[in-house]
Structure 1
């Protein structure tokens, strides 16, 4: 939004506001406003433009479904994916997450069949899908954790909690991965991975028909830093020295080209790695936040994603970034 000029008077501001409300909110024509305020029609047009320039009026475009369909088609052709679920832009992060979650919940409702296995990741976006309010037809589907459990502070963003919530919605079952998501070092991780119970659960997740994962961006304020998995310094180091721009399902870290990047944070997560998601027929990747276009571009370039769920703005930014980077080559 443009900031209001310092030299505009209170009287002028009031006039601009009154005219804007009459035109944009009450539906008055410029001719009607001209008569009401005893000014020329040309001046009404100039004042309405000034109101937009001063930030008194903000115009938000509500995209027509045909527009979203065209953006989806561009993403499908560009990144060889099956579907793109594109939500209209919302005024804040919480509403955006709910809008994207609604699209994914409806997609799953139309996709899942009896006997299917669904591998579930962690995080806010995946959790929002599980908690979406909607009428679901009961199905015999098994939801299984593709990553271990997180700190209690993670609560409803924990893969196990999300699995249980999905199972409750669908009247089906869930399977817990009895291990932490985060290990202190590689040795501890391998010890957990060799446990028979852990191996059986991960084997089931590897054979899933559908996987639901979140895409993270590399920020020192990220979810994983907040939970104490990694320090802000480790995240910054990985970003600057290793070119890491995002994480896939909270597990593997990748660069802008979609290549797996080895960092000080690698080999410490207990769950499915990026390569293990490839054989899964339908990997649905979700990211609603406006900070994630770069991470999403890298994730799409891994070639692992089959269905992308995000906002209109993110989708357009991804396409523009990819086109710009391809041109610069």
Structure 2
């Protein structure tokens, strides 16, 4: 069983290379292109897999089932890269495990000059320990939604600051609450000069790192009092299955016509499609419908999830 710190990106890449070459019959050049590697590196990986027993007649590694699920999701939804986390011993570890894998993946693509937009939540906060502690040149981090009035490790502003600090990046934060008291106040805050600058950066992202929320009483929104029980019930009646950046969406991935969506101070999820790469990281059985809806709305290039959600995504 997997533990929160046990996901190994290198092992995932090795197994993926072996799967594509031996099981799907791709050429070495095609494998190299699919994984963003040189052909020489693919050759070394394949040789190593034969030597250490990873590859016998079939791909023989703990991650093989996850790789097979990932490939089915990639083909079904046209996603460039899917990382499926093996089912952990405890459901409580799902978020931390997905977060660790997400941090490892993001670390592998970081380069100088990037602009990275961040969502929030427990899963994304768990990615911090997997990020390198090093300074990049001209790296920019942008929080994509307002902050909480009560301090927490899951506060969007706090998460953005900690993410930027690990990478030596400049950080832009939305100096406003997640929800304004009414739509008119929201418009006034969003059109403030300082906020306009943040939104402009949010429109020029190299990477958008996003998670999806759900509507249960144990959700982050409910725990921090961002939505009342009555509002959550109203959202459910209206067809909401979850939220992206605190904007509620239905099962088809459409933004809901609801008063809370009129008051939220965050980037518009549809605008995130302009990002060069969207990384969607979420899992847990209670988020299966929300993850599917988020895929339909965002059309992410990368998905990091767990076996339970992955199986639901390919279920007929």
Per the normalisation by structure 2, the TM-score is: 0.76
**Shift in CA distance, 249/92, structure 1 to aligned 2, threshold 3 Å:** farther
Tell me the alpha carbon deviations over residues 280-323 of structure 1, each in whole angstroms, 9 at most, x when there is no partner.
Answer: 11111111333111111111122432211111111111221xx3
- Determine the structure 2 residue equivalent to 1:245: 241
Give 2:163's match in structure 1, choosing from 145, 166, 170. Answer: 166
Contact kept, 8 Å, 2:173 with 2:198, in 1: the verdict is yes
| Residue ranges of structure 2 left out of the alignment (5+ in a row) | 1-59
- Determine the structure 2 residue equivalent to 1:207: 204
Contact kept, 8 Å, 1:245 with 1:294, in 2: the verdict is yes
Q: Please list every run of at least 4 consecutive aligned residues from structure 1 whose deviation after the TM superposition is greater than 3 angstroms.
A: 133-138
Shift of 1:74: 1.0
**Shift in CA distance, 283/134, structure 1 to aligned 2, threshold 3 Å:** closer
- Determine the structure 1 residue equivalent to 2:190: 193
| Residue ranges of structure 1 left out of the alignment (5+ in a row) | 1-61, 324-329
Residues 1-329 of structure 1 aligned to structure 2 (within 5 Å): 64-130=62-128, 132-133=129-130, 135-140=132-137, 141-153=139-151, 155-240=152-237, 242-250=238-246, 252-320=247-315, 323=316
Tell me the alpha carbon deviations over residues 143-170 of structure 1, each in whole angstroms, 9 at most, x when there is no partner.
Answer: 11110111224x1111221112112222
- How many matched pairs? 256
Contact kept, 8 Å, 2:121 with 2:211, in 1: the verdict is yes
Q: Match of 1:182, SS? A: coil
Q: Please give the alpha-carbon distance, in whole angstroms, between the structure 2 residues aligned to 1:63 and 1:274.
A: 37
Q: Match of 2:240, SS? A: coil
Q: Please give the alpha-carbon distance, in whole angstroms, between the structure 1 residues aligned to 2:272 and 2:130.
A: 28
Give the root-mean-square deviation of aligned CA atoms: 1.8
- Determine the structure 2 residue equivalent to 1:41: none
Per the normalisation by structure 1, the TM-score is: 0.73
**Shift in CA distance, 107/74, structure 1 to aligned 2, threshold 3 Å:** same
